[in-house]
Amino acid sequence: QLQLQESGPGLVKPSETLSLTCTVSGGSISSSSYYWGWIRQPPGKGLEWIGSIYYSGSTYYNPSLKSRVTISVDTSKNQFSLKLSSVTAADTAVYYCASRIVVVPAAMPYDYWGQGTLVTVSS
């Protein structure tokens, strides 16, 4: 069974770049069976999809965040990462990494989630 764990700084200054890593266990990041993604949730608010990546490197981003987001895979560490540039207080949120299975030709939602990590943007 897949397990995902987020890690990274809990505090980021405005205008800087937020960087988080998701470590995957119980499965390979290089597997063609999964997509990997990031979702965030501001305190007391709803969920927002940030983007996702396939083992091949193909990425899909939320259009509202696309100009600031980069998601990448590190196969040697079985990890994938999120970088969000030029952050403001509005980017303060719990950030979740998640996975969804590939079922050709259908699509599937995210079914494995990390526990989430709170990132606060403040000087």
Partner 1 sequence: EIVLTQSPGTLSLSPGERATLSCRASQSVSSSYLAWYQQKPGQAPRLLIYGASSRATGIPDRFSGSGSGTDFTLTISRLEPEDFAVYYCQQYGSLFTFGPGTKVDIK
Q: Is 120 in the site for partner 1 (CB under 8 A)?
A: no
Q: Select from 15-23, 26-34, 45-53, 80-88 the region that touches partner 1 (CB under 8 A).
A: 45-53
Nearer to partner 1, 19 or 49 (CB): 49
Q: At closest approach, how far in Å is the CB of 80 from partner 1?
A: 16
92 token code pair: 């303060």
How many angstroms separate the CA atoms of 52 and 34, rounded? 10
- CA neighbours closer than 13 Å in the CB half-sphere of residue 103: 9
Q: Is 46 in the site for partner 1 (CB under 8 A)?
A: yes
Which residue of 76, 109, 122, 123 would you call a contact of partner 1, by CB under 8 A? 109
Distances (CA, A) of 46 to 42, 55, 93, 117: 7, 28, 10, 15
Q: Is 43 in the site for partner 1 (CB under 8 A)?
A: no
CB 5 within 8 A of CB 77: no
Q: Is 95 in the site for partner 1 (CB under 8 A)?
A: no
Q: At closest approach, how far in Å is the CB of 95 from partner 1?
A: 11
